[in-house]
């Protein structure tokens, strides 16, 4: 008998050498390397090279890759003009979606060499797009990032006047953490588009459209709004009892389709949030988050429900200097590289049009009735 797996839960749609997850043990590896080791020891550029080429680069390979990437910090004029023409109140992911769609090329031909070169190009353009979306939102003139800086630093310098090494390091870590997570909704959407042999920019645009949904990309924003709603550390217990236990509201930033223990990415973000915290407001929100985490784990841990990566990531992005409306777009900023790695892997190694079926549950054959007789 045919069955339907709603949400494609536990349905495998591809083989991959990119990302390994053990949801029961809380393990996440990129190309075999533990995410904790990569965050501690690598730049985002190194991990990007790893994801695209399969191995960590030597110094010569890294220099060549970085040079290529930085050459594309400069955006085409029409993309800058398009961002500037969008209403400043526009959703930032909508701006990102529009910018990537504007660079779509109908004549792109898939082959391994071009796919690898395209990755560095898209990474550079991605940095220019996201930093200029932020500049446009706060009313600054758009400008291309400075190619003399590394990825995380160039991004922050194009967003802010004053940055610190601690914030650069935090941004670098956040970019690595969010690079990939197997095949969630946005990556699956990119794969469906790539299976038709559409071009990379169109595949990324499709992925952004999926990320924009609140059930996927908006979790960090929702978790941060939750902290604001609680207001004070001493309010946590009453708020939890009233909203979560009594009224059965969802505890934002908790639970994951794959992880049944602590999300390893959450632990990294928590450590960064503790290290980066500066203002009294940030200290207050961090304390609220810790108290709420304790209550949530005590209540739901036995059911395999723990904090996920988005629980503390909003705190980190805020401590770096970004407003709430940028949180999901910063997730997308990093995930572009993961999308490119997955669609390249799929088209090069397993390319087959993704065309699932549906089980019909409607009427049996019915006789047509002319309009005059209805």
Q: Which CATH number fits domain 219-320: 3.40.50.10860, 1.10.230.10, 3.20.20.10, 1.10.10.10?
A: 1.10.230.10
| pLDDT value at residue 255 | 86
Catalytic residue selected from 72, 136, 181, 256: 256
Q: Structure pTM?
A: 0.94
315 pLDDT above the threshold of 80: yes
204-243 pLDDT, tens digit per residue, is 999 999 999 887 888 899 999 999 999 999 999 999 999 9
323 pLDDT above the threshold of 80: yes
> What integer is the mean pLDDT of 35-49?
98
| pLDDT value at residue 107 | 66
| pLDDT value at residue 101 | 96
Q: Which of 228, 251, 254 is nearest to 241 (CA)?
A: 251
| pLDDT value at residue 367 | 96
Could you confirm whether 310 is annotated as catalytic? yes
| pLDDT value at residue 1 | 59
Is 220 within 8 Å of 335 (Cβ atoms)?
Answer: no
Q: Which CATH number fits domain 15-212+326-349: 1.10.580.10, 3.40.50.300, 1.50.40.10, 2.30.30.30?
A: 1.10.580.10
84 pLDDT above the threshold of 90: yes
Alpha-carbon span 173 to 161, nearest angstrom: 21
74 pLDDT above the threshold of 90: yes
17 pLDDT above the threshold of 90: yes
Q: Which of 192, 223, 211, 201 is nearest to 289 (CA)?
A: 223
Q: In whole numbers, what is the pLDDT of the chain averaged over residues?
A: 94
Where are the chain's structural domains?
Answer: 15-212+326-349, 219-320
pLDDT band at 311 (very low <50, low <70, confident <90, very high): very high
pLDDT band at 115 (very low <50, low <70, confident <90, very high): confident
Q: What angle do CA 56, 156, 286 make, to 5 degrees?
A: 95
Q: What angle do CA 242, 282, 93 make, to 5 degrees?
A: 85
| pLDDT value at residue 214 | 80
Of 10-14, 20-24, 74-78, 296-300, least confident by mean pLDDT is 10-14
| pLDDT value at residue 110 | 84
- What is the distance between the terminal CA atoms of the chain, rounded to a whole angstrom? 37
Could you confirm whether 180 is annotated as catalytic? no
Catalytic residue selected from 115, 180, 199, 310: 310
Catalytic residue selected from 216, 225, 342, 367: 216
Is 335 within 8 Å of 178 (Cβ atoms)?
Answer: yes
């Amino acid at each position: 008998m045919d069955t339907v797996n709603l949400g494609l839960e536990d349905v495998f749609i591809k083989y991959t050498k990119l990302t390994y997850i053990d949801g029961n043990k809380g393990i996440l590896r990129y190309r075999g390397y533990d995410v904790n080791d990569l965050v501690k020891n690598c730049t985002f550029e190194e991990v990007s090279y790893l994801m695209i080429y399969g191995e960590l680069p030597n110094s010569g390979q890294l220099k060549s890759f970085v040079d290529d990437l930085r050459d594309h910090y400069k955006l085409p004029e029409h993309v800058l003009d398009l961002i500037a023409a969008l209403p400043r109140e526009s959703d930032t992911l909508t701006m990102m979606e529009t910018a990537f769609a504007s660079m779509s090329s109908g004549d792109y031909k898939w082959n391994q060499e071009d796919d690898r070169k395209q990755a560095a190009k898209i990474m550079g353009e991605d940095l220019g797009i996201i930093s200029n979306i932020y500049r446009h939102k706060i009313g600054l003139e758009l400008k291309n990032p400075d190619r003399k800086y590394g990825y995380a630093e160039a991004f922050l310098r194009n967003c802010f006047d004053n940055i610190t090494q601690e914030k650069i390091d935090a941004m670098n870590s956040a970019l690595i953490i969010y690079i990939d997570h197997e095949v969630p909704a946005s990556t699956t959407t990119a794969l469906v588009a790539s299976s038709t042999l559409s071009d990379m920019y169109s595949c990324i645009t499709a992925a952004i459209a999926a990320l924009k949904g609140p059930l996927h990309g908006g979790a960090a924003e929702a978790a941060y709004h939750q902290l604001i709603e609680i207001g004070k550390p001493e309010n946590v217990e009453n708020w939890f009892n009233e909203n979560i236990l009594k009224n059965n509201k969802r505890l934002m930033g908790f639970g994951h389709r794959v992880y049944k223990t602590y999300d390893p990415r959450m632990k990294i973000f928590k450590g960064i949030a503790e290290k980066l915290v500066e203002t009294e407001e940030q200290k207050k929100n961090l304390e609220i988050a810790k108290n709420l985490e304790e209550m949530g784990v005590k209540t739901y841990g036995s059911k395999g429900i723990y904090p996920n990566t988005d629980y503390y990531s909003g705190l980190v992005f805020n401590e770096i200097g970004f407003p709430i409306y940028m949180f999901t777009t910063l997730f997308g900023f990093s995930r572009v590289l993961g999308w490119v790695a997955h669609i390249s892997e799929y088209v090069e190694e397993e390319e087959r049009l993704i065309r699932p079926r549906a089980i019909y549950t409607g009427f049996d054959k019915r006789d047509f009735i002319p309009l005059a007789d209805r």
